[in-house]
Amino acid sequence: MLPGRLQNFESLPHDLMYELAWLSPHQHRQICLPPGKYELHGESLVSEKSDAEESPLATRRIVIGDCWLDCPQLTLTLSANGGVKIDNAGRPILLPSGRRINAGQSHTLSTPVQLVIGKTRLSITPSQIDWSFDETLNVLTRKTEAKSHKRDKGMNGAPAASTLVQWFDALNQLQAAMVGSQAFYDHAVQCTFDPAGLDMGMLLQRRDNEWHIVASHVPFPEFGLSFRRELVERVATTRQLWYHVGCDDFDATENSDAHWVVAAPILGHDGEVTAVLYAVRFESSFNKRHGIRPLEAHFVRLVADAISSATRRLHAQAEAARVHVLLEQTFSPQVVPLLARDPQLLDSRQSEMTVLFADLRGFSSLSEKLGPGMTHQLLADVLNRWTRTIQSQQGVVIDYYGDGLAAFWNCPVAVPKHPWRACQTAWQMLDDLDAVNQTWCSKLSYPLQAGIGINTGTAHVGNSGSQGKLKYGPRGHEVNLASRLENATKRFGVPILISESTAKQIEDHCLTLRLCRTWLPGMEQSHHVYQLLERHPNHASVQSARDYSLALTDFEAGLFGDCMDKVTRLLIEQAGDRRLDYLLDQLESISPSDSLNQLHHLRPKRTVSTDLNVAPLPFQAWHSNLVTARN
C-alpha cells in the first residue's frame, strides 16, 4: 500500500464524497461532489451551476471551460459504493485502457477513474479515503529529521552543486517577476518541476472556504491531476510543510502508480494560511526517485515563502496606496508624505487649533432658478476654489456641508501662526468668490456672497470616519463657536467674524473691530465678537470702524444718549451699514424712550435674501450701567 494507491472499498465511509478534477487547455479545476447524477457541459463559461439546488436527487449541471466539448457531453452517476456510471452523449470518451465510449453508450467503472475527451482530461477519486504509506508523512523542520522509520538510502544524497545553483537562480528569477500577476504564479509552480525535479505543481488558494487551483503545471496528466484535499487542510490547519519521505522497503515494480506529495503553506499579511503550494512526484520510468528529499522539501518551502513575501508586499503596497488616496482626499500634498511616514500623527488627541466655517448666502433661492445641473456645476466651482485655497495655507478640510464647508489648522501637523493663516484664507476665499461671480455673471441674478466664522481654541481631534473613508477633524465647544460666528455674519451684515482668541493672536498683522459681547445661539456663555476688516482697508473703512467702536463704548458704559447721537449721525453718513442696524436694535430693546422712533426712517433697507431676516441676537446686559441710566 503506497501514498498514491487507494485501499479497498470495504473501508469507504457511508458519507462518501468524490473529487472531480478536470484539465483543459485553459482551465484546471477540482470540486468535491456527493453521490448523485451530474451533467457535464462544454462551454466557454467557467462556472458550476445547479438547476435544482433544493432537490439533491435532480441532475446537476457542471460547466467545463472547453468549447470543443458538446452540450451535454456526458452524464456521471456517482454511487455510494465507489462506482461511476458514464452515459456519453457527445464526443468519444477515451479510457486509460484504450477503450472508447462513443455517443449513446454507457459504461460503469470503479474509482479512481481518468477520462480523456478531446483535449480535456477528467479524474474522479473518492475524497475520504485512507492512503497507504501516509505514515511516511513528515513535518519539515530546520534539522530535516524524518520520523522513526527507515528512510530510503537513495534519499540521503545531497543535490549536486549545479542543482543548487539552478535552485537559487530560479528563486532569484521568481522574486524579480511581476508580483500578483498570473505569470508570477505560473512561474512559481513551474519551479517545482524545473529545477526542483518534481512532476506536478499546483498553487491552491482558499476562497469562500474552498480551495481553488489558481495556477498549475501538469506535464504528465496521465499520472494524476488532482490534489488531496485532506492533506491540504492539514497544511492549512498546522501551518507547516508536510511531505512524504522515502522508505527502503519500497518496491517500484509492484507499485508503479505510487506518488509522493510535498505541500507548503503560504501565509497572508495577517499570518493566516491563504494558499498552499502543492507538488507531486510520480513513480514512473522517467523518474526513478521515490519520496521527497528534505532539501527538495526545503526548496519548495523557499518557493512558498517567496510567494508569501510577494503577497504580503503586494498587500502592503495596496494598503499604502489606499491610505494615500484617503489622505489625498483630506490633506494637502505637502502633508500627505509626512502622514504616510508617521501614521501616529492621526491619532486622537487634544490640541490648539483654528477652525473656519464658511457658507454661501442666499444660495437656496438662487439654486431654484439655476436648476439642479447648473447648481452642481456652480457649487463645485466654488468648493474647488475654496479647497485649493485652504490647502495652500496648510489647512485641512473637515467636511462639506450643503453649500459650505469647514476647515481647521494646526493638526495633524503643526502650523505656525495658524490663526493668521486662517484669516488669510478667509480673505482669499472672498477673492475666489469674486472670481466665480465674474465667470458666472451671465447666469447669476445677483452676486454670490459668503459668511465666514473663525475661532481659535483647544479641541479634541481624530478620525471619526471608516476604513474606506477618512473623516479627520475636531469636535467640541471651539468648533461650535466657529459655526455660530459664521451664522452670525447674517445678522451683522459682514463677511468675516472671528472670536476674541483669534483676534488677540492676529492683532499685530491686521485690523479687527469688536462688534459686541453677546450670547450666540447654543452657547452657555457670552462671547466677544470681532469683525475681520478687509485685507487692505481704505481710510473710509477704518474711520467707520472707529466711529462704531466709539458708539459701542458709549452703549456699554450706559451712555445711551451719546450712543444714540453717534448712531444717528452714522446712519446718515453710512447708509446700509447693518452693524449700526444691529446696534440700533439693542438701543430700542433697552431704552423705553420714544425719542428713538425718529431713527426708524434712517434704518437701512434689507434687499438681500430672506435668510438675513433673523431675530436680533441678545446683547450682553450690563446691569449696573442700565440701572444707573434709568434712574
Cis bond before residue 343 (omega within 30° of 0): no
> Which distant-in-sequence residues (6+ apart) come within 8 Å of 325 by Cβ?
none
Cis bond before residue 333 (omega within 30° of 0): no
- Percent over 70 (pLDDT), the chain: 83
170: cell is 530560479
> Which distant-in-sequence residues (6+ apart) come within 8 Å of 561 by Cβ?
none
Q: Do 153 and 112 fall into the same domain? A: no
Q: Do 122 and 139 fall into the same domain? A: no
Query: Whose CA is closest to 11, among 19, 1, 20, 21?
Result: 1
DSSP H/E element including 242: strand 242-244
pLDDT band at 79 (very low <50, low <70, confident <90, very high): very high
Query: At residue 608, what are phi and psi to the nearest 5 degrees?
Result: -85, -175
Please give the pLDDT value at position 227: 95
Q: Do 177 and 303 fall into the same domain? A: yes
Structural domain contains residue 306: yes
Indicate the residue among 94, 126, 158 that finishes a domain. 126
What is the mean pLDDT of the segment spanning 111-125?
Answer: 92
Please give the pLDDT value at position 250: 60
Q: Which residues sit opposite 609 in a β-bridge? A: none
346-350, long-range: CB < 8 A, 24+ apart: 346/412, 346/462, 346/463, 346/472, 347/462, 348/460, 348/461, 348/462, 348/463, 349/411, 349/460, 349/461, 349/462, 350/458, 350/459, 350/460, 350/461
> Which distant-in-sequence residues (6+ apart) come within 8 Å of 106 by Cβ?
85, 86, 87, 88
Please give the pLDDT value at position 611: 39
Structural domain contains residue 166: yes
Please give the pLDDT value at position 20: 95
3-state DSSP of 296-338: HHHHHHHHHHHHHHHHHHHHHHHHHHHHHHHHHHHCCCCCHHH
pLDDT band at 287 (very low <50, low <70, confident <90, very high): low
Query: Would you say residue 623 has pLDDT above 60?
Result: no
153: cell is 538510502
Query: Whose CA is closest to 21, among 113, 136, 148?
Result: 113
Structural domain contains residue 74: yes
Please give the pLDDT value at position 571: 86
Helical H segments across 531-620, by residue range:
539-556, 560-573, 578-590
Structural domain contains residue 482: yes
What is the mean pLDDT of the segment spanning 330-341?
Answer: 78
Indicate the residue among 78, 93, 126 that finishes a domain. 126
Structural domain contains residue 64: yes
Structural domain range at position 358: 344-488
What is the mean pLDDT of the segment spanning 13-25?
Answer: 84
Q: Do 419 and 284 fall into the same domain? A: no
Query: Whose CA is closest to 200, among 121, 106, 314, 274?
Result: 121
What is the mean pLDDT of the segment spanning 93-121?
Answer: 92
Structural domain contains residue 216: yes
Question: Count of domains in the chain?
Answer: 3
pLDDT band at 191 (very low <50, low <70, confident <90, very high): very high
Q: What mean pLDDT is reported for the chain?
A: 82
Looking up residue 464, the CATH number of its domain turns out to be: 3.30.70.1230
pTM as predicted: 0.63
Please give the pLDDT value at position 313: 86
Q: Do 185 and 291 fall into the same domain? A: yes
Please give the pLDDT value at position 418: 97
Q: Do 249 and 387 fall into the same domain? A: no
Please give the pLDDT value at position 383: 95
Please give the pLDDT value at position 18: 93
Indicate the residue among 126, 154, 173 that finishes a domain. 126
Query: Would you say residue 279 has pLDDT above 60?
Result: yes
Task: Tell me how far CA of residue 15 lies from CA of 4, 127, 210, 304, 446, in angstroms.
Answer: 22, 10, 19, 34, 80
What is the mean pLDDT of the segment spanning 192-213?
Answer: 92
- Longest Cα–Cα distance in the chain: 126
At 446-495, the pLDDT tens digits run: 899 999 999 999 999 888 777 667 778 889 999 999 999 999 999 899 99
